[in-house]
């Protein structure tokens, strides 16, 4: 088995005043993912290493890290991909506060996600009394389906300099989910979501850097969603002007 040097940014708040990079030699073959490497380090070399992970198959969205400066899921990239570069540096996701080693505080993202109400809103709360099914044609579903694959991994936030510059920015992931529900024929909550989307910290903080869509492991294309939301917000503004005149 070949070995590779894996460098990891460590931060133990009880020991370090600021993060330090530590180096480990990790044996690997063609099937060793970066997450496998972290697990191997924790089991064989340093049990104090902390990181989040769960499913190992790019669906839970827990193991997002900066790998050689790019936001990636640890389970979705392999040491063999970095053999040519010869170096592998794992850091916690950018733009989030670091709690410990590779664990970041996602609270800001969770708050933004909560604020855009990422669920189907029905204006009349018929509740369970009226058990009508939410029918939807394939064409109606096609309108939002692309934006519904988000796994809340946060890679797009680590890729977004506007979120890095201003953490109050709702950000790509949450705005993409807002747009996903706004496009859903069963949803009636667009009017409730629009004020936040149309605010300075909503879609309008985005400058279409586009890197969020490049790093998205689910190919959601949040940048497209955010910019389609800008179009909706602009339409909303024009409609508001007419409403006021009447």
Q: Report the largest interatomic distance among the alpha carbons of the chain, rounded to a whole angstrom.
A: 76
Q: Find the binder of another protein among 207, 219, 242, 244 (CB under 8 A).
A: 207
Which region among 21-29, 56-64, 81-89, 191-199 touches another protein (by CB under 8 A)? 191-199
Computed on alpha carbons and rounded to an integer, the radius of gyration of the chain in Å comes to 21
**How does DSSP classify residue 78?**
B
Among 86, 139, 243, 244, binds another protein (CB under 8 A): 139
- Whole-angstrom Cα distance, residue 20 to residue 103? 14
Backbone angles phi, psi at 178, to 5 degrees: -60, -45
The DSSP code for 122 is -
Is residue 197 within 8 Å of residue 190, measured between CB atoms?
no
Question: Rounded to an integer, what distance in angstroms lies between the CA atom of residue 210 and that of residue 206?
Answer: 9
* Residue 217 touches another protein, criterion: CB under 8 A: no
Q: Is 149 in the site for another protein (CB under 8 A)?
A: no
Residue 11 touches another protein, criterion: CB under 8 A: yes
Q: Which is nearer to another protein, 73 or 196 (by Cβ)?
A: 196
> Does residue 110 belong to the site contacting another protein (CB under 8 A)?
no
Distance in angstroms (rounded) separating the CA atoms of residues 68 and 65: 9
To another protein, the closest distance from the beta carbon of 79 in angstroms equals 22
- Selected from 120, 165, 191, 239, the binder of another protein by CB under 8 A is 165
The reply to whether 27 sits near another protein by the rule CB under 8 A is: no
Which residues partner with 70 through β-bridges?
67
- The site for another protein (CB under 8 A) is made up of 11, 13, 18-19, 69-70, 94-99, 105, 115, 139, 159, 161, 164-165, 195-196, 198-202, 204, 207-211, 214, 221, 223-224, 227-228, 230-231, 233-234, 237-238, 240
């Amino acid at each position: 088995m070949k070995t590779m040097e894996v460098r990891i940014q460590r931060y133990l708040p009880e020991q370090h005043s600021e993060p330090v990079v530590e180096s480990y030699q990790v044996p690997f073959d063609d099937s060793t993912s970066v997450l496998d490497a972290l697990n191997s380090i924790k089991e064989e070399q340093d049990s104090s290493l902390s990181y989040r992970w769960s499913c190992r198959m790019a669906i839970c969205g827990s193991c997002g890290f900066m790998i050689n400066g790019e936001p990636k899921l640890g389970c979705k990239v392999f040491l063999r991909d970095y053999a040519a570069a010869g170096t592998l540096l794992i850091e916690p996701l950018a733009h989030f506060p670091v709690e410990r080693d590779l664990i970041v505080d996602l609270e800001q993202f969770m708050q933004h996600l909560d604020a855009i109400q990422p669920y189907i809103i029905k204006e009349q709360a018929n509740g369970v009394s009226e058990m009508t099914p939410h029918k939807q044609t394939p064409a109606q579903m096609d309108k939002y389906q692309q934006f519904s694959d988000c796994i809340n991994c946060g890679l797009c936030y680590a890729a977004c300099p506007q979120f890095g510059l201003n953490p109050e920015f709702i950000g790509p992931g949450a705005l993409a989910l807002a747009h996903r529900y706004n496009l859903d024929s069963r949803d009636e909550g667009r009017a409730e979501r629009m004020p936040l989307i149309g605010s300075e910290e909503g879609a309008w903080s985005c400058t279409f850097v586009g890197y969020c869509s490049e790093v998205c492991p689910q190919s959601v294309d949040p940048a497209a969603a955010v910019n389609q939301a800008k179009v909706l917000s602009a339409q909303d503004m024009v409609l508001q002007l007419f409403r006021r005149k009447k």
